[in-house]
Amino acid sequence: MVKMNIVIIAGSNRKSSTSTRLAGYSERLMGQKGHSVTLFDLYRSPLPFYSPDEYHQEHVELQVLKKSLVQADGIVLVTPEYHGSISGVLKNALDHLGQEHFNNKAVLSVSSSGGAVGVSSLTQLQAIVRNLHGINSPEWLSIGGAQRKWFETEGQDGYEIGQDINDRIHRVIGSFLDLTQLVRRESHAAGSISS
């Protein structure tokens, strides 16, 4: 598999967030496969409130995020499930962005929820991706209920993750990377034909 640029946006505003830790785990996993992965943690690097009246050109983190997304081959969006939807900070970040960042890119949706699976937030996230002209990965990733305990503390050897969820994380990340490579190859081929 060729080396690809992957951008992860972790959409929690909580210091010990399990969704952000799952994002970090996914970052390491894709890094071990040889990809260049950039994680934007919206808790550590908060973005300004989106306003259609302001471009926030002076906001360094926002400009870095936008540039990284333009250069990305694939994007991972990670959210805690809040009131059957995505977090406010992730929605705010997405409002700063547009089709120029997502068009024809593979996008993986990931959530952490109190319930067993964050279906509502994931469904809504995929609808937003569709509106941004991204390509939803066929599988999504969710930790919920008791599964979150694995991401509550990190030991010296990393997280002690149950075999079933670990297998799922590997499978879902694998299918996302496969789709990212496929889309990347097709768009590069289309670019070389048209140029």
Ligand X SMILES: Cc1cc2nc3c(=O)[nH]c(=O)nc-3n(C[C@H](O)[C@H](O)[C@H](O)COP(=O)(O)O)c2cc1C
Site residues (vs ligand X, CB under 6 A): 12, 14, 17-20, 80-84, 112-115, 148
Q: How far apart are CA 69 and CA 33, in angstroms?
A: 20
3-state DSSP assignment of residue 36: strand
Does residue 19 contact residue 110 with C-beta atoms inside 8 Å? Answer: yes
Does residue 96 contact residue 123 with C-beta atoms inside 8 Å? Answer: no
What is the pairing mode between strands 106-113 and 74-80? parallel
Closest CB to ligand X among residues 116, 189:
116
Closest CB to ligand X among residues 67, 149:
149
Could you tell me the smallest distance in angstroms from the CB atom of residue 136 to ligand X? 21
Closest CB to ligand X among residues 96, 148:
148
Could you tell me the smallest distance in angstroms from the CB atom of residue 70 to ligand X? 27
Could you tell me the smallest distance in angstroms from the CB atom of residue 76 to ligand X? 14
Closest CB to ligand X among residues 78, 177:
78
Could you tell me the smallest distance in angstroms from the CB atom of residue 186 to ligand X? 34
Does residue 96 contact residue 68 with C-beta atoms inside 8 Å? Answer: no
